Structure formats: structure tokens, C-alpha cells
Homo-oligomer: A and B are copies of this chain.
Amino acid sequence: MDTNQLVQCVPNFSEGRDLEKIEKIVEAFRITEGVKLLDYSNDEDHNRLVVTVVGQPVKVKEAVVEAVKRAIELIDMNQHEGQHPRMGAVDVIPFIPIRNFSVEEAVELSKEVAKELYERFELPSFLYENSASAPHRMNLAKLRKGQFEGMAEKVKTDEFKPDFGQSIHPTAGIVAVGARMPLVAFNVILDTSNLEIANQIARNVRHINGGLRFVKAIGIDMEDRGITQVSMNLTNYTKTPLYRVFELIRIEAKRYGIAVVGSEVIGLVPMDALIGTAEYYLGIENFSTEQVLEKRLME
């Protein structure tokens, strides 16, 4: 095993109110050596807990399985209500390759975890995103449609038969487990108050309407500043890099006589996404990320 491998995991649990239960679930990540708890946040309205951890794959797996065990013991979906759609006590477990770990390896890891959750706790699962067993099962929203209350019936259909298990868990429902690339939340700010134009530019650059492969985009108002932005999720920054998105939006905005005034990166972003940007604009030849001092420190 390459001890230098890193995988991120962002499991979502259906408990956002009871701090004692939340702490017990989070504790599973605190007590596991080789796993770093980067963040966790609970939302009372959503009644949901989102945990962000990173570490060696085998350790992350161990911690996740322990956290799921606790969640199954603590959460009864028959009693659960909240604004966020959900289908299980653990709603979704995405594995995200960070370093020396391929998407294929993350898919493998997600399948191992799903298998273990079923074998140990009889928790059924859908494999989703890159781990999905069919294209129509890739999208989380589609899998979750009908939510916990409708899931007992839904899993009886051929289309949505679980990848592990046959029927839902009586109190914990079903979980989606899968591998995906890191998301980068990237917004490009436009010098116009016209939301229709921002939306038109969003349509021009996003995948669904014929734009870049790994871009999801909408126009939104920045009301306090009287301007707008193209708000995006980049679903694979290695294949659709930030600079390409930024420059394409600049080109599209030009048609409307509008300037790009800047951008925003929301939340965490992998170092490589920004270093790739610097490499492009400076035209750096033969650069290796091994030349980045901090990268060396992490080895």
C-alpha cells in the first residue's frame, strides 16, 4: 500500500439537531489515527450533518464504517423530518481522490465500503457517480427521488434495485456510495445587473447546453453590488480547468459588451487547480507539482 495516498470523504448524516448524537458520529472520525477531520457542520432546518475528512484510504474506510454503525444506532428515519431531501440515516458517502489515488481506486474503495456496510449492518446501498452500475444511476438526485418514505417501493423496481441488498433498512433506509472528483465552486463576476444576460452566458458555457464538459452553471444576482455572476460547479477541474472556463466566459460576455470584473472560489479548492491556472497564464514549461515546497512537505 502506498501510504502517501490520500482520499477525501464527505458523508452526509440525517441528524442536524441533537448535538449529543452529532458528537458521537463525529467522534468516529476523531478517534481514527491517520484520518484528519477537516470540517463538520450541522444544519437544523435541513436536519443534516455534513462531515469532511481526509486520510489514507484504508483509514478513511475504517472511520466511515464506524460512523455509519453509530448513525444506524442513533437515527430512526421514521421519525426524521427536515427540509433537505434524504433517503437514509446516512444519506450519501462520496469518496474523492486527492493524492496518488485514481478515480478508479476511489470507485474500488466505494464498492468495498458499500459491501461491508451491507454485510455488517444490513444497510443496502446504491452505487452512484463514477461507481454507478448504469448511467441512469449516476445522479444522486434521481436516486433519492421519493425519499425515505418512498424508497421501500422504489427499490422493488428493476431500474432502482439496490447494488447491495434487496429492501431498505427499516430505520436507516438506504445510502448512496460512490466516487467523484473534487467539486470546485467557482463564480465569475460580470459587470452587468442584467440577470438574463448572466443566465445566457451560463447556458453558453455549461455542459448541458453544449458548453464545457465539466461545468454546471447558472446566473445569479449579487444584489448588494448591483451586478451578477455566473455561478458554477466545476465537476472535474483536471479536465475542465479554471482558466478555460474563465476565458470562455470573458469571450461570451464580450458579445454583450460586458466585462468580467473578477471571480470567487467558494470553500475548499485543491492546490493543483490553482497551480494549473498559474502554469497556464505564465506559460510555465516543464513544471511539476513536485516543485511546490508544500507538496514535498506532505510526502
The complex places the Cα of A260 from the Cα of B260 at a distance, in Å, of: 25
Q: Does A246 contact B (CB under 8 A)?
A: yes
Size of the A side of the interface (Cβ < 8 Å), in residues, is 42
Chain B residue numbers with a CB within 8 Å of A189 are 283, 285
Q: Does A81 contact B (CB under 8 A)?
A: no
Say whether B269 contacts A292, CB under 8 Å: yes
Q: Does A296 contact B (CB under 8 A)?
A: yes
Say whether B284 contacts A264, CB under 8 Å: yes
Q: Which residue of B lies closest to A299 (CB)?
A: B36
User: Do A274 and B292 form a contact, CB below 8 Å, given A261-B283, A282-B246, A286-B264?
Assistant: yes
Chain B residue numbers with a CB within 8 Å of A265 are 284, 287, 291
A-B contact pairs, 30 of them (CB 8 A): A6-B297, A8-B293, A38-B293, A38-B297, A182-B293, A189-B285, A242-B278, A243-B281, A246-B282, A262-B282, A262-B283, A262-B284, A263-B282, A263-B284, A263-B285, A264-B285, A264-B287, A265-B287, A268-B291, A268-B292, A268-B293, A269-B292, A271-B294, A271-B295, A274-B278, A274-B292, A277-B277, A277-B281, A278-B281, A294-B298
